[in-house]
């Protein structure tokens, strides 16, 4: 197949995730052929800086030969065996020791999955099974948040708060409810400080618990920092208050660490950065730096004991603890440890990114709420900074901006009208400068385009006014 053929052939047969496939087949796709470090390369030879680490996952960067090596070795030795029927294998035993060693104290048990969505679905079944095991089978309701993202399976999509996902196919499933997200910029009252807002937002959970009854609620689940919702970083008061509420009402607290886990926020886990202790946390993405699909659900000793008391948990995946994925994940974690990458994000590149990110974007009039933590960053495109006025038709402006970045060979993502970045954690200060130099150019281009668009709209609006008179 010639290079151009890939794009055309793709449109003929391949249904893409989260895409309008008819439009995509007409317009064509970009064909990625290789990757190295923080760059991916397309079939036209363009070098594209990957500011999203794939999908928030390629944390140690592309092209790490060590991972290829352990995968090859494991494939030759034991490419597959299951862990269902009184069997195990060295790769999964070793990974479990490594993960629980990295996890905060009190987390000594892990259940494996093949993805973030499977981790979330596992957790949803697990919290209900836990309560049934300890004699409270009526505790079934799981509380998530609007605009949260927890994957695309029926459970994960239900628990997530993406209305566009709920609108397709009768979601959410029963006994899954949502509270509002802790988005200070969009939801704070006039004069309310971030700290005050954080407490008020956390109290929405208590209101929901009182409405439903704590005796019916199994768990509250949230991403420490909302990723796909647009990198929403809650005020520091939010999570400790959430934890307090969960303890008071005897509800399990679950952190969805699929993005935040394994170093993204400058600590091993996002809940450490945000200052709370969950009972369970779900992971995937950064666990293997995306080199192979694998996820893991970690449970604290209390939950592990409860589950063990409940006899058989009728749940598992063919690929739970897949040997090749497990071997690769273990090597990935060792690289993060040996190269001190998490500390580097915490003490060097994270703070540097914060400073440079703010410097770069604060000069633009359509940008506000510039934020970052470790190497997860965002800002919001707004029509009028002084009045905190967002653009109408949420998402349209974000896509326009994203396309300018993509055309200039820098991958950032638009989540609604939030522009976000989550580059590989191995990114150096020099590479941060390089990324932001390109981003600055892109934003200039965006600003000019938006100036023209708004001027045109204003002119059209005036004409309409005249003809109305």
- What is the smallest separation between the CB atom of 293 and ligand PLP, expressed in angstroms? 7
* Of 57, 83, 81, 107, residue with least CA distance to 293: 57
Provide the token pair at 360: 């770069």
Bridge-based pairing state of the strands 107-113 and 47-50? unpaired
Which C-beta is closer to ligand PLP: that of 49 or that of 52?
A: 52
User: Measured from the CB atom, is 133 or 226 closer to ligand PLP?
Assistant: 226
Between 256 and 368, CB nearer to ligand PLP: 256
Query: Closest CB to ligand PLP among 288 and 300?
Result: 288
Q: Smallest distance, Å, CB 156 to ligand PLP?
A: 6
Tokens matching residue 186: 């969009």
Enter the tokens of residue 267: 């600590």
**Which CB sits closer to ligand PLP, 188 or 298?**
298
As a whole number of angstroms, the distance between CA 269 and CA 99 comes to 12
Which residues bind to ligand PLP, rule: CB under 6 A?
115-117, 120, 149-151, 156, 223, 227-228, 256, 258-259, 284
Residue 323, classed as helix, strand or coil, is helix
Tell me the two tokens of residue 75: 């494939």
Comparing CB distances to ligand PLP, the nearer of 82 and 153 is 153
Closest approach, Cβ 25 to ligand PLP, in A, equals 23
Residue nearest to ligand PLP (CB): 116
Three-state DSSP at 395 gives: coil
How far is the C-alpha of 320 from the C-alpha of 325, rounded, in Å?
A: 10
Q: Residue 260 CB, nearest distance to ligand PLP (Å)?
A: 8
Asked if 422 and 259 touch (Cβ cutoff 8 Å), the reply is: yes
CB of 116 to ligand PLP, least distance (A): 2
C-beta of 114 vs 323, nearer to ligand PLP: 114
Least distance in angstroms from the C-beta of 17 to ligand PLP = 9
Of 413, 410, 406, nearest to 379 by C-alpha is: 413
Pick the closer one to ligand PLP by CB: 227 or 306.
227
Instruction: Tell me if residue 20 falls in helix, strand or coil.
Output: coil
Q: Which of 297, 139, 141, 288 is nearest to 205 (CA)?
A: 141
Spatial separation of the C-alpha atoms in residues 68 and 50, rounded to whole Å: 21
Q: Minimum Å distance from CB 233 to ligand PLP?
A: 14
Closer Cβ to ligand PLP, 147 or 360, answer by number: 147
For the chain, the farthest-separated pair of C-alpha atoms sits apart, in whole angstroms, at: 81
Render the burial of 202-237: b for 16+ CB within 10 Å, e for the rest.
Answer: bebbbebbeeeebeebbbbbbbbbbbbbbbbbbbeb
Q: In angstroms, what is the minimal distance from the CB of 340 to ligand PLP?
A: 25
d(CA 31, CA 9): 11
Q: Report the C-alpha gap between 445 and 27 in whole angstroms.
A: 23
**Cβ closest to ligand PLP, residue 48 vs residue 259:** 259
Rg (CA), the chain: 23
Q: How far is the CB of 332 from ligand PLP (least distance, A)?
A: 15
CB of 437 to ligand PLP, least distance (A): 28
Please state the length of the chain: 469
State the sign of the Cα–Cα–Cα–Cα dihedral 330, 332, 335, 337.
negative
Closest approach, Cβ 115 to ligand PLP, in A, equals 3
> Is the Cβ of residue 120 or residue 420 nearer to ligand PLP in the bound state?
120
For the four alpha carbons of 256, 277, 280 and 170, in that order, the dihedral sign comes to negative
């Amino acid at each position: 197949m010639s290079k151009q053929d890939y794009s055309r052939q793709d449109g003929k047969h391949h249904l893409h995730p989260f895409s309008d496939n008819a439009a995509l087949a007409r317009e064509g796709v970009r064909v990625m052929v290789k990757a190295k470090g923080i760059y991916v390369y397309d079939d036209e030879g363009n070098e594209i800086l990957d500011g999203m680490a794939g999908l928030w996952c390629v944390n140690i960067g592309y092209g790490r030969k060590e991972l290829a090596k352990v995968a090859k070795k494991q494939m030759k030795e034991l490419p597959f065996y299951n862990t269902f029927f009184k069997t195990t294998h060295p790769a999964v035993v070793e990974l479990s020791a490594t993960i629980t060693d990295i996890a905060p104290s009190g987390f000594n048990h892990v259940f494996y999955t093949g993805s973030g969505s499977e981790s979330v679905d596992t957790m949803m079944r697990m919290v209900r099974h836990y309560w049934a095991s300890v004699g409270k089978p009526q505790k079934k309701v799981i509380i998530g948040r609007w605009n949260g993202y927890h994957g695309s399976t029926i459970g994960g999509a239900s628990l997530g708060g993406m209305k566009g996902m709920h609108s397709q196919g009768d979601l959410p499933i029963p006994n899954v409810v949502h509270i509002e997200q802790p988005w200070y910029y969009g939801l704070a009252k006039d004069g309310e400080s971030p700290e005050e807002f954080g407490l008020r937002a956390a109290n929405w959970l208590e209101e929901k618990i009182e409405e439903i009854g704590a005796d019916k609620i199994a768990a509250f689940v949230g991403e420490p920092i909302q990723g796909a919702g647009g990198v929403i970083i809650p005020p520091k008061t939010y999570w400790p208050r959430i934890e307090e509420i969960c303890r008071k009402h005897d509800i399990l607290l679950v952190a969805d660490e699929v993005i935040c886990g394994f170093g993204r926020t400058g600590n091993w886990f996002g809940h450490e950065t945000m200052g709370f202790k969950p009972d369970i946390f779900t992971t995937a993405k950064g666990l293997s730096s995306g080199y192979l699909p694998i996820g893991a659900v970690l449970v604290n000793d209390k939950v592990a004991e409860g589950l063990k008391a409940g006899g058989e948990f009728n749940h598992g995946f063919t690929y739970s603890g897949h040997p090749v994925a497990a071997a690769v994940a273990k090597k990935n974690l060792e690289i993060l440890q040996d190269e001190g990458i998490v500390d580097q994000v915490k003490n060097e590149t994270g703070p540097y990114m914060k400073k440079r990110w703010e410097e770069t974007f604060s000069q633009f009039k359509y940008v506000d709420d510039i934020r970052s933590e470790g190497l997860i960053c965002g800002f919001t495109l707004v029509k009028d900074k002084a009045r905190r006025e967002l653009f109408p038709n949420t998402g349209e402006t974000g896509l326009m901006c994203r396309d300018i970045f993509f055309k200039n060979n820098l991958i950032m993502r638009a989540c609604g009208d939030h522009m976000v970045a989550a580059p590989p954690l191995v990114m150096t200060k020099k590479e941060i400068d390089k990324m932001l130099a390109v981003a600055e150019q892109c934003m200039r281009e965006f600003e000019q385009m938006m100036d023209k668009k708004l001027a045109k709209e204003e002119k059209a609006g005036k004409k309409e006014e005249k003809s109305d008179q």
